[in-house]
Structure 1
Amino acid sequence: MTESSQFDRRMLEALVCPVSQSGLSYDAERQELVSRQARLAFPIRDGIPIMLVSEAREL
């Protein structure tokens, strides 16, 4: 099973950015959840979104 198939896109509907409380978009190529409002990208590792600001990449 590939990493991209491990991430359940339905989970995206339940998750929000911990900074802005806004919705997230899924970047399959980079395996990240992106908060455009907070300008942060949260990594997905082994199919698990890491929703820690300290782990996020600034956009």
Structure 2
Amino acid sequence: MALDVENDDEQASAVDPKLLELLVCPLTKTRLIYDASTRELISKAAGLAFPIRNGVPLMIEDAARPLTDRDLQKR
């Protein structure tokens, strides 16, 4: 039986849709947008992208990256 490592990585990084409904930006308490291509939760209000690692959203400001103009344009 062969292991599909890429698929396992994707499943480990996936976030439960019910959890996504409950999560809000820790800074602004506004809705987050899930970006599957970058595996991030986007807060337009805070201008930050929170990473998801091993299926766990890192919801601290120090882990987030600032959104670029390009990030905001594609949303």
Asked if Structure 1 and Structure 2 have the same fold, meaning a TM-score greater than 0.5 normalized by the shorter chain, the answer is yes
Q: Write the distance in 2 (CA, Å) between the matches of 1:47 and 1:17.
A: 17
Q: What root-mean-square deviation, in Å, do the aligned CA atoms of Structure 1 and Structure 2 show?
A: 1.4
Higher RCO (C-alpha 8 Å, min separation 6): 1
Q: Does 1:39 align with 2:39?
A: no
More strand by share: 1
Residues 1-49 of structure 1 deviation map (CA, whole Å, 9 limit, x = unaligned): 3425631122111100011000100000000000001110000001100
Q: Write the distance in 2 (CA, Å) between the matches of 1:28 and 1:6.
A: 8
Identify the residue that residue 56 of structure 1 maps to in structure 2. 64
The share of aligned pairs that are identical, in percent, is 49
Task: Tell me which moved more, 32-41 or 1-10.
Answer: 1-10
Q: Write the distance in 1 (CA, Å) between the matches of 2:17 and 2:25.
A: 15
Unaligned 5+ runs, structure 1: none
Unaligned 5+ runs, structure 2: 1-7, 68-75
Q: Which runs of structure 2 are paired with 1:1-59 in the superposition (5 Å)?
A: 1-3=8-10, 6-59=14-67
More helix by share: 2
TM-score (norm 1): 0.89
TM-score (norm 2): 0.72
Select the structure of larger CA radius of gyration: 2
- Give the count of matched residue pairs: 59
